[in-house]
Chains A and B, each alone.
Chain A
Amino acid sequence: MSRRTFLKRCSLAGLGFAAPIYWQSVLRATEKTIEAAGYPGPYYAVFNASGGWDTTYLMDPKGVDGINRLYQQSDILTVGNHRIAPIAKHIASGMSNEDFFAKYGSELRVLNGLDLSVNNHTPCARYMATGKLDSLAYPTFPALVAACHGAEAPLAFLTFGNYSATGNLVPMSRVPYLQSLKLLARADSVEGGDNPYQDAFVSDRIERALEQQFEARVSDTRLPRVERSQSMLYAAQANSKALERVVPFIPKELAKERLSQQNDIALAAFKAGVCISANLSIGQFDSHNNNDIDQMKLIPELLAGIDDLLRKAEQLQIRDKLVVVIQSEMGRTPNYNDGNGKDHWSINSIMFLGPGITGNRVIGATDEKQQLIPVSAATLAIDNDGGIRMRPEHIHHALREFANVQDHAFSQQFPLEVPANEKLENVWS
């Protein structure tokens, strides 16, 4: 069946309205546009420090007014244009800020003083992930970019936790175990081994019959949910065959660290061209009790996980195609509570690195009370008088531009409505 014929049939059946995404996916799968090498990149990895990180122990240090107990103002370190909290002597394992910024500071773009407007986990996680506070419908950035660039890839949007809404644009894939990948990749073989269930000609006939059935149903009279789900099902099964490409990139040994385990799955999927974006996540940052102990354990673990991803990406020769976003749903208060913990704080930070992002730069700032300082949208310089309060919608607007999806129909479907004079200029260069 030609693309035109298929389009016509889909259109006649209203499929384009009911399921624009899967309509595209199915088209692509049917026409076998997934080349042997798969999706070529760029790949997007979003690290989530789930629970709310203490930015003052990372990229936005404060050494005054008892905001921190582990260092003073004079201890704050500088790496290029970055100011970082000195934590090396307070950590037992993982990677220190000192090492992380020494290694990646020249590539890192840091944004401080991000206003979330609220300070509860659920809305903050949603806001950071989607750029939209007051809607449950919006997709997260990794889901959106996966939908725009390759919804037909079998693991287009891979998630290991955190807020993962898809806006119904792309299915969400959970692959928690590395071993599972091999089984999935060899779905037509007994136990994922070398013995196929069916002779090749039988498999071919089954696939052809399924394809014919799908085509026949396009002209049926169906409820929108039925149309949509039939398309999704067909796409899921048809596209899943591309998982075979993952096999050569599955590491032989299981990593011990929780982020490394996620990295291995994501990297194998990236390298195989079956994944566009991955939501990587570690939790327990919500340090209402004993903030310093928890953050000194978790921040180094997060940084070590990022380092692990980047090192392995280098080995797989996809480092130059890997965009990394490092975020958390909120910051922590500039004071300690009675349990030596810190509570939720609506001022946050975010970091980026990857191809097309000029590093060694910090945008925005907070003052000595950890309140944000407005920035000029045009110059990104501090502008107390005419500046704007940078919020997630501003960042997501810039991210959409960066990923070249801002004009895609899916992005239009979920507009961020940033006023023209608030659009951040030259965020990445």
Chain B
Amino acid sequence: MCDRIQRHELLALLNLNFILLSSAFFVAAVGKTAVGQTNSSSSSATIARHFGNADLFEAEVWAKVGERTCLRCHNRQSEAKESKFVLEKSDDSLNDLAMLAHNHAAFRTMATIVTSDQSVLLQKVVGGLDHGGGQVLQPDSTGFKILERFVLRTMSPTGEPIHEGETDAYRPAAFFDGVTMLPPSRLLRRVTLSLAGRLPSTEELKAVEQGGLFAIDSILDSIMREDAFYTRLKEGFNDIFLTVGIEDNAETLLSYDHFEKTRLWYQTHDFSHLPEAEREQAGWKLAEVYRDALLREPLELIAYIVRNERPFSELATADYIMVSPYTARGYGIYDEVKDQFKNSDDPFEYIPARLHALKGRDGKVQESSTGWYPHAGFLSTFHYLRRYPSTETNRNRLRARMFYQHFLGIDIMQLAPRSTDASAVAAKFAIPTMQAADCVVCHTTIDPVAGVFQDFNFQGELGPRDDGWYKDMFPSGFEGEDLPEGERWRATQWLAERTVKDVRFPLAMVEHVYFILLGRKVLQPPEDIDDPTFGSKRRAYLEQRKMIKTVAARLTASSFNLKEAFKAIVATEFYRADGVASATEHPQRQAELDDIGVVRLITPEQMERKLNAIFGKRWGRFQEEYKILYGGIDSITVTERNAEPSGAMGAIQRIMANDVACLNVGPDFHRPAGERKLFSGIESSVVPGDEQSNQNIRETIVRLQEKLLGYKLPLDHPEVDRVFQLFSGIIRDAKALPNFEPRETYFCGGREDFHVEDPHYTVRAWRGVVTYILRQHEFLYE
């Protein structure tokens, strides 16, 4: 609440200052219209009214019209910077009171200037008075009506707010008021499972018990040194960059022109030490592993940067690639680097290396003043360029688009501006992308970056066009700066140097980390100003932006150590939110909290790791037959994960629960008690009945819940009751049968290896309990 009070106090002060300062100005600006306003400006009632108007301005005029429509051109950098209506931008629209005061004053000024008996503001927005931006609002639109009310309110002699449903009784509290956070022990389980695919260790649990949330930070440092973290990291970044999604054999990433003699090295590999019958098979295996090793290279670059706490800006600027003993052979540099490998037979041991300037089959060597291939992180890897190919008419624009999306967080195609008639524009202009305003607005940004990639052919190989780069495109460059001719040979490096200095770069990197941790993209600003919860959705968006910016600042301050971004996001309320203290019934509050908390359906890959962590072995089916069915991706045609379970996925959850319980419960009882993972505290002879047995069963239920779901309930908790009733009910039903098999089923009781006796039906009842638990939200969601 403190934030809110301070804000209100400040708003009141600003309003008072504004009223005193602006009243004289108003007299001069609009003559008699404003005169009446000066009379009561010092009264507390007026302050209250203007206080209300300032809030109203921010929530209605600014949020729904100014920020979305006017600010695009009317700011200090854009087309209308010379106009009399220049607005201020801010990174914190909700709380930057100076910005709000300035913009409020600017709007009031425009509202009160009258020509032809109508406010200039209202005439301009519909394209009147030669408005440079033409018509930006329809006269019957919600936006126009908001301005109309604003003008009426501003012109009103009493300054009374005009109530037409535009004010809302909802007074928001501090954003996370009433939101409960995960206790540190459960947060620990979340991060160890999410990032390292394991359960917390005893030491970690103890550390958190003693140090609380503060202990998580150092535990994260430790987790981020584990190999499992890098599996997760690479998986997460592949979801973003999709660089393993290469349809052809991976060795084709290495161009025939430059790697003709080396890229197929596996075809002449010596298998003479093997029996002849095995050589063909071995050759296939070698090719398969080599291709896999090649595909992994870009993600290994990310892992290398993060593992060694190098600046993550090397994502764009690294002057090296990662090679393994196998892939180094493909590039023809194995002899140069082989001594650096710890195990030159390991196809997946990666080291940084540089390629020499590439030499074509005609003997021509790539231009390079250093003698090296001008590596620029992902921007110059053959994988990235192949994954986002070009055509004669696309002219690298896809690459430019992906560059903006991946490195600066800008999705140019997200909300494509509508042309009045795209086909007519195409027919009218010789070069629409340079001449038609509808096209120029985007192409002036995209095409220069497309030109930066001009030395790469459609497939991403080094291969400049014979005729030189296209003349009917904006010159190569970045954000208004042309690429100097002397830098063309290292154009992607030139671009990378500018990219990592761009303020959007750390924001984009933090958004990637957010995506990896929470499984969804950051919020977009709300679009529908008629939505009654628009203000709440905007608040949620702005609060999240504030968090992203704070984390980005920490990332930048740490010299782009990406681990800092992981730690910072884990520590935020956005990641730790777990529930609400009381039911949130107000629709505005519901809308504010709509995206809070992780609540993420666990991916097939994560589910395998979780099952392994809990049961000691993977199930295997999530990564094979059910991967796509369970919402996974293949990085080529299926590139986005299913966030919500369909009926098909519900069926897979049932299969998994049935099968995993089947594979684990009977065999667990078959082991000596001391070696069991699930049922170390109970025997299959214990049936419900006497107090001691019931206590034993309840304790076992609590232990199972703790191990499988990560929470510990009291023995008399309703959920423990429910599971107890499930267990005892199954046994009761079994005993009511005329007879039943006194052993577990063939499939769940050891199959050919052993038989699990079950004379009391308790093993099968416990299997039912585990099946039930494995179908829980707490197990299937993060």
Contact = CB atoms under 8 A, between A and B. Distances in A.
Interface of A: 12-14, 17-18, 115-120, 122-123, 133-137, 153-157, 161, 166, 168, 171-177, 180, 183-185, 187-188, 190, 195, 197-199, 201-202, 205-206, 209-210, 212-213, 216, 221-226, 229-230, 232-233, 235-240, 242-243, 274, 283, 288-289, 333, 337-339, 341, 343, 345-347, 369-372, 389
A223 B578 contact: yes
B594 A225 contact: yes
B753 interface: no
A232 B590 contact: no
Nearest to B417: A118
A34 to B, nearest CB: 11
A116 B652 CA distance: 40
A289 B392 contact: yes
B423 A345 contact: yes
Contact of A173 (B419, B646, B655): B646
B413 A205 contact: no
A229 B647 contact: no
A239 B645 CA distance: 11
B748 interface: yes
Contacts of B764: 198-199, 202
A136 B414 contact: yes
Contact of B647 (A133, A225, A239, A289): A239
Interface stretch (B79-87, B308-316, B769-777): B769-777
A212 B590 contact: no
B527 A346 contact: no
B781 interface: yes
Contacts of B394: 288
B597 interface: yes
Contacts of A119: 422, 426
Contacts of B726: 205-206, 209
Contacts of B584: 14, 221, 224
Interface stretch (B196-204, B507-515, B561-569, B636-644): B636-644
Contact of A223 (B527, B596, B725): B596
B747 A195 contact: yes
A135 B745 CA distance: 54
Given A339-B392, A347-B423, A171 B629 contact: no
Contacts of A239: 647, 650
A237 B657 CA distance: 11
Contacts of A172: 642, 644, 646
B767 interface: yes
B658 A133 contact: no
Nearest to B736: A201
A236 B423 contact: no
6 smallest A-B Cβ distances: which pairs? A154-B647, A236-B650, A240-B650, A346-B422, A173-B646, A123-B416
Nearest to B598: A225
Contact of B393 (A122, A232, A337, A369): A337
A271 to B, nearest CB: 16
Given A187-B652, A190-B747, A240-B651, A369 B427 contact: yes
Interface string B585-610: 10100100111110101000000000
Interface in B722-777: 722-723, 725-726, 729-730, 733-734, 740, 745, 747-748, 764-765, 767-768, 771-772, 775-777
Interface residues of B, number: 88
Contact of A232 (B416, B427, B644): B644
A341 B771 contact: no
Given A197-B662, A223-B578, A237-B645, 14 more contacts: A118-B416, A133-B416, A134-B418, A154-B648, A184-B648, A184-B651, A210-B775, A221-B580, A229-B644, A236-B650, A240-B654, A288-B393, A339-B393, A371-B424
B647 A171 contact: yes
11 contacts: A153-B647, A155-B648, A202-B764, A209-B726, A223-B596, A226-B579, A235-B650, A239-B647, A283-B637, A345-B423, A346-B426
Contacts of A195: 745, 747
A13 B644 CA distance: 21
Contacts of B655: 183-184, 187
Most chain B beta-carbon contacts within 10 A, residue among A115, A153, A209: A209
B99 interface: no
Q: Which of B599, B646, B777 has the most chain A CB within a 10 Å cutoff?
A: B646
A187 B524 CA distance: 38
Contacts of B179: 223
Given A120-B413, A223-B179, A288 B392 contact: yes
B527 A180 contact: no
Contacts of B745: 195, 197
A222 B778 CA distance: 13
Contacts of A136: 414-415, 524
Interface of B: 179, 391-394, 413-424, 426-427, 524, 527, 577-585, 587, 590, 593-597, 599, 601, 625-626, 628-629, 631, 637-638, 642, 644-655, 658-659, 661-662, 718-719, 722-723, 725-726, 729-730, 733-734, 740, 745, 747-748, 764-765, 767-768, 771-772, 775-777, 780-781
B576 to A, nearest CB: 12
Nearest to B630: A174
A164 B661 CA distance: 35
Contacts of B594: 18, 224-225
Given A14-B585, A197-B748, A118 B771 contact: no
A18 B596 CA distance: 13
A120 B416 contact: yes
A221 B594 CA distance: 14
Contact of A216 (B597, B638, B718): B718
Contacts of A198: 658, 764, 767-768, 771
**Which of A174, A195, A210 lies at the interface centre, i.e. has the most chain B CB atoms within 10 A of its CB?**
A174
A174 to B, nearest CB: 6
A117 B418 contact: yes
The interface centre, meaning the residue of B422, B578, B629, B651 with most chain A CB atoms within 10 A of its CB, is B651
Contact of B650 (A17, A154, A229): A154
Nearest to A236: B650
A208 to B, nearest CB: 8
Contacts of B662: 190, 197
Nearest to B595: A225
A206 B593 contact: no
A358 to B, nearest CB: 29
A134 B415 CA distance: 5
Contacts of B393: 288, 337, 339, 341, 343
B638 A174 contact: yes
Contacts of B414: 136
B771 A174 contact: no
B741 to A, nearest CB: 10
Nearest to B420: A117
A224 B178 CA distance: 13
Q: By CB atoms of chain A within 10 A, which of B577, B718, B733 has the most?
A: B733
Nearest to B392: A339
B629 A184 contact: yes
Contact of A205 (B601, B733, B780): B733
Contact of A154 (B583, B601, B646): B646
Indicate the member of A136, A205, A239 with the most B CB atoms within 10 Å. Answer: A205
Contacts of B599: 223, 225-226, 229
Contact of B581 (A133, A157, A221): A221
Contacts of A289: 391-392
A288 B422 CA distance: 18
A175 to B, nearest CB: 6
Contact of A137 (B527, B577, B650): B527
Given A154-B650, A209-B722, A337-B392, A174 B423 contact: no
B640 to A, nearest CB: 9
A119 B397 CA distance: 13
Contacts of B583: 12-14, 221
B424 A232 contact: no
A372 B631 CA distance: 40
